[in-house]
């Protein structure tokens, strides 16, 4: 983070780094750039409460974070996170003022079956259904298209 922050980043560009949760505090402390944002890799879909092992939006905000990745392919595949759960997480984070990096993407099997558009549209439709037409909320959504078949875990 310190190395990235030391480079001159144009003010029109936001660079986002998403370290593992245990390294977030170190990354935040090392960040000296206004253009470098630190993001969490996930957030829980409910608020503060007895959710052992989960991290709420409020906790991320307390740490000073402004960005969160939601719907990553590994969360969907390994943890069984649904489009609706991802959308609910996004809505919760957006309502609290965070910027959401919302991941979409299809698996190799879905691609081979010519379902690329169907899969991605379903993921985005779930998000649209949850957050509606609010321009204010959509301004804080970054869509990260990540074809699962093109990455190491795909």
What are the tens digits of pLDDT across the range 35-79? 899 999 999 998 877 888 899 999 999 999 999 999 999 999 999
CB distance 95 to 126 below 8 Å: no
Quote the pLDDT of residue 33: 87
Quote the pLDDT of residue 104: 98
**Mean pLDDT, the chain, whole residue set:** 93
Residues 116 and 131 grouped into a single domain:
yes
Mean pLDDT of 133-145: 96
Quote the pLDDT of residue 152: 67
Quote the pLDDT of residue 50: 82
pLDDT in tens, 105-124: 999 999 999 999 999 999 99
In angstroms, rounded to a whole number, what is the distance separating the alpha carbons of residues 65 and 107? 30
Residue 127 pLDDT more than 80? yes
Active site residues: 72, 146
Residue 15's domain comprises: 1-39
Least confident of 46-60, 89-103, 123-137: 46-60
Among the listed residues 43, 35, 30, 44, the one whose alpha carbon sits nearest the alpha carbon of residue 16:
35
Residues 19 and 48 grouped into a single domain:
no
Residues 12 and 60 grouped into a single domain:
no
Residues 35 and 50 grouped into a single domain:
no
Residues 55 and 97 grouped into a single domain:
yes
Quote the pLDDT of residue 7: 86
Mean pLDDT of 132-140: 95
Number of domains present in the structure of the chain = 2
In angstroms, rounded to a whole number, what is the distance separating the alpha carbons of residues 46 and 88? 9
Residues 84 and 140 grouped into a single domain:
yes
In angstroms, rounded to a whole number, what is the distance separating the alpha carbons of residues 109 and 18? 28
Least confident of 1-10, 53-62, 131-140: 1-10
Residues 68 and 112 grouped into a single domain:
yes
Residues 134 and 92 grouped into a single domain:
yes
Residues 61 and 107 grouped into a single domain:
yes
Q: What is the CATH number of the domain that holds 79?
A: 3.20.20.70
With 0.75 as the threshold, say if the pTM is over it: yes
């Amino acid at each position: 983070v310190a190395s990235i922050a030391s480079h001159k980043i144009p003010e029109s560009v936001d660079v986002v780094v998403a370290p593992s949760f245990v390294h977030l505090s170190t990354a935040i402390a090392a960040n000296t750039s206004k253009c470098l944002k630190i993001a969490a890799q996930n957030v829980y879909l409910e608020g503060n409460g007895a959710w052992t092992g989960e991290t709420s939006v409020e906790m991320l905000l307390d740490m000073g974070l402004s960005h969160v990745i939601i719907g990553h392919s590994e969360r969907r595949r390994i943890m069984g996170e649904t489009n609706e759960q991802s959308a609910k997480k996004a809505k919760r984070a957006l309502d609290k003022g965070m910027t959401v990096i919302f991941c979409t993407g299809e698996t190799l099997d879905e691609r081979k079956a010519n379902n690329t558009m169907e899969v991605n549209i379903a993921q985005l439709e779930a998000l649209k259904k949850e957050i509606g037409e609010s321009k204010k909320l959509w301004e804080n959504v970054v869509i990260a298209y990540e074809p699962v078949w093109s990455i190491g875990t795909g």
